[in-house]
Structure 1
Amino acid sequence: MKRVITLLLLIFGFAFTGFAQDDPVEVETSVKKISDTEYDLIFNVYIDDDWHLYSQYNPKDASLPMSIKPSEGESGFTVVGKAEESETVTEYSEIWGMDEIFFVEEATLVQRITIEDPSLTQVSLNIEAQVCKEFCLPYDDDFTFSLTGGEVVETVATVDKKSEEITNSLKLDLKNRELLEASTDKDENKGNLFNIFMLGFLGGLIAFLTPCVFPLIPLTVSFFTKQSEKRSRGITNSLLYGFFIAAIYVLLSLPFHFAESLDPEILNTISTNMWLNIFFFIVLIFFAGSFFGFYTITLPSSWSSKADNASGIGGIFGIFFMAITLAIVSFSCTGPILGSLLAGSLTSDGDPMQLTAGMGGFGVALALPFAFFALFPNLLKSLPKSGFWMKAVTVLLGFVELALAFKFLSNADLVGNWDFLKREIFIGIWIFITVLAALFLFGVIRFPGGPKVKRISGLRIILGLAVLGFAVYLAPGVTKKPMWPQTILSGFAPPQFYSIYDQENNKCPLALNCFKDFDEGMAYAKEVGKPVLVDFTGWACVNCRKMEENVWSESRIYNTLKDDYVLISLYVDDNENPLPADEQFDYVKPSGKIKKIRTYGEKWATLQTVNFKNASQPYYVQLSPDMEVLNTPQQYTDKLTYYNWLKEGVKRYKE
């Protein structure tokens, strides 16, 4: 079983190579002249952490061995044998059942060639190999060498002097860098992942109650228990079926791990893209229409037919394809919930583990009923029959999708600086949607496919009153001075300073005095002699809003920020606000590749990753005006921890 699952992971890794931004392997080349007809072509290979590159001598029946050969169309020289290799690692592979040979961290390859055409001035060699982490990637690249003077032909892009100067200026001369090595968010991240897992689990339970999944429980369990000669075998198959259901949804999240490992800013780029947020808005509106019954969303019938035919193979693979068939058949109900989970997990303040946790929770919740009722088949009789209650659950999900859609439209509005979906307008839309949901529960409005309600049950009345209560809770949010804070909306609604009542348009959290430019803020800190709080944040950052509205708003924290610090808020997703033409530049990555910096968001995101090796938000750094790191950086946390962290920074600065 373990070998089967690992093979599936490898397959998915190859399937999603299109997400890659940079290779996990970097190669430097050089030439050593041995004689007039012999040359050694040298490859110095640098492999990213946790990746490994397979050797030329790896068994042919295992992972793809490396090959070095003349590039296509090259002639006039001969490759002499295999390249000499530096030290390798040999390790037993449970997938292939044999030892595999590979490089970690770095490798040196020396390939001898003989020249047959004396007029040759350069040659090209091709390296084809396989590099693996949780996934495996094909590596295929050509390298050109000059045979004149033993120098390699320059293949790395160059930048102008201005770009070199700005690139160098991004690298801050920080003191006490050892404080940056400590991680302050490990425990919080674990708790956050658990919360996201539980949200995904809740989504899976809701999907279980939809008409696409619920009726399949007795059918599937009965199939496994009746088709097996022994009850124990039927239970084993049912449990295996449930396991595959959960595994399929986890597999859907794995490509984002791959993308993030190659480009740490990829999730930031995805989540804060204005047009992608508009796309999510349209998709969720479309999903809501499906839940309301206006139309049905289905995957192509040929997919389910092929998966269903494959399920007849028998054994483990047959059960796996049965799980795929369930995922495809139930897509019209699970798709909208998964779409919301996917869009909500791809946040600038998150990482792929959040998506995996959410998808894992969803898959586990969806799979549990199959496993549970397989163990206790007699309980199938106690399941309620499908009916109007199921239609009501589906329609309520439509209202949830509708409300979430405006969250993404709000992200696009903030990132694009459109200034039309202000906080009060956003809350007003949510109130309107909530009232409509209550009217549905009271039987005032109907949707296609739903029977006319003759009598309102007590449960529906209670639910309707609860939904109306939520509307009442939201109502003060549209006023200039709310009677109570709408803390439930923290991170969902636009920030409090993004208000129709804010004529000054301060655009700083809690109307604090903040700088949006790093150099300006540091200059002011030197002038007033205060420590600096660098706030790496984002317009579309959910946890940033939660910190500002729930933590920064506490009086002692607010006063500390106002009186004791110079606040520099750098919005890493400010990608619709271009830098002045003379400040735009090409950033040279350590790999030698070029990243074009054209907006303030790109500049601040690069500043964060270059100096602090971190690409998530919120991310808070305490600095002195002389670039001394005062404390370990902080991320999303509670009020007491954050207050003590702020006070400790002030104390160290004074010392």
Structure 2
Amino acid sequence: MKNFVSIITLLMLSVSLTYAEIPKAGFSVTPLNTDKWPAQYRLTLTVPKDHHAYLDTGDDNIYIPVTVDPNSKLVASGLTISKLEKPAGVHDSLVKANVLRDKGDFTLELAQTGSKPAIVNSASLELTYQLCNELTNVCFRPQTTQADLTLPASTVAASVQDDESLSFMDKLLALFESNKNNMFIMFGLMFVAGLLSVATPCVYPMLPITSMFIVGRANGDASKEKQHALAYFIGMVLTYMALGLMAGMTGGAFNTFMQSAFVNLGFAVFFAFFAIALLGFYELSFMQNEVHSLDQHSSKVKGVSGTLLMGSVAGLVISPCVGPIVFALLLQVADNIAEKAAALALINQSLDFWGKLSIASQGSVMMSGFGLGVGLPFFIISVVKFKKMPKAGYWMNKVKYAFGFMILYFAYTYLQKGMGVLGVDPSTTVTLAIGLVAIWIAVVHCHVLTLMPRDAQPNQKMQHYVGVLSIIVGGWLVVAGMGQLPFMNTAQAESFAHNGAVQSAASNNIPAALPVQKEAGISWYRSFDAAKKVAQETGKPIFIDFYASWCANCTEFKKESANNEQLNQALREKAIAVKLVDKEPEFEKFRASQEHRQLKIGLPYFAIITPEGKLVWSGTDYKATQKMVAELDRLS
């Protein structure tokens, strides 16, 4: 028994001595800039003599490198690491890794996340490291140390003001940010966001119209109504699931694809194709004979398939209304991958395809919650509210025509977006559209290309005469519009590129040589560098409106800046206003910046920058005018 006790005692003593001998590295923080955001610090890690720490995982990917904020606790304080520079270290051929000996300095730059401002004047920073003894070749267990960071003193005051001026979108995104690691809560929030999107003014009226359209697709059969409603519902959910997956896998590259002129023109043709079918000019069917030979109920299969397809494109149709919400949610998905990729980059690792797919799949599931929220009201109102409507009648044709004209309108909006990306003036797009409609009326309705019989009735002659006039006017409008296209008229393209010519704004103390565009009393600089010089001279913040002619909500903000008195006054008197247009060099420079990663997802996007070039606020909600004014008031 005594021997047993002695053995246990020796084991406990050896264990305690082993832990007591584990060396520790010194860790200290030196503030470099804590007066304003982003805050900068120097982190000093002192390694004991005859030891080293790892700066990467090594060639064999087996070591634990020095990691700053390994558990992402800074996010809880509304902070994010915007920049981290490591010491150079030396490459040790024996361990095949980059190691740190003696002492090394890390340069850390912290920024506010924007969605959840910090509410304290200090934050705790953790650092994890692993030491190895170079004499005994023993590597010790990883250790975590911490130090306190002093934050800019203006954080508390700014956070109180932020809470008062946050828009609904900002609060919603803050809620998403604080719960982004909880899949169940995120799914629920996405579902609620989808329900709220249906309440927007241009989506809500579509509920009864869509319901009657589904009843018409079912030919008044109550059992088929449920099938078509379910198919429409599933189509909408699948669309948003696909968007979430693509946003995660491409990091927003899908949106860049959607900004292509030819893609938008392709959607215009696609929607016009369906609209004309709904208007009754031809029967929409694909491979009807082949399907009929495989299934005697081909009409049923074809009908449900068509409804599924219509539901899948419905998510894109209503995008002008729910665009800011969809883009904001897709940004959360893309950011999730970006954060994990950045964390791995700090330890010289990268996120492989399967890692991206895993995270993107989570984003797809979250976006399916949004699709469920958007599609559920359409499904319920189609199955429940309108289940006792008349089974058949001429009213179905009226509903079908109304739906066809609505789809045709959306085809025109995509035509306008595509032409806008090509640099075509909106008036030219309208001219071309009217011309094409006139030619359509002449050919399809007036049969102008068909020979008139000799015994034609007077009304037939009049119809033919109207058709001739229509095709002449339509042809003239198309030719005139084509003449205004940039690739048809180089001089006109250059004139369009410099639209809103340089003005001599001496009354506003603006040098005449600077490119300035006047709108509703606001002097919009078209060059960020020029605006920055003026901002440094006047001490005013810079407000940037990232604009594109294809962006419907960008146009709405243009109206808002003219009609909202508080916003208009703030942009005129308290800020240097800048408007950067999509595809321009300065726009692309901002798009490539990590600080403005929202530009990779979509527009609109707005940013407020100090005269020194520091980002203090950014957002995608064009209706958040109260927040914009509050930020400009605080900085002026």
Question: Per the shorter chain, which TM-score range?
Answer: 0.3 to 0.5
TM-score by length of 2: 0.47
TM-score by length of 1: 0.46
Higher helix fraction (1 or 2): 2
With a CA cutoff of 8 Å and minimum separation of 6, indicate the structure with the bigger relative contact order. 1
Larger gyration radius, structure 1 or structure 2: 2
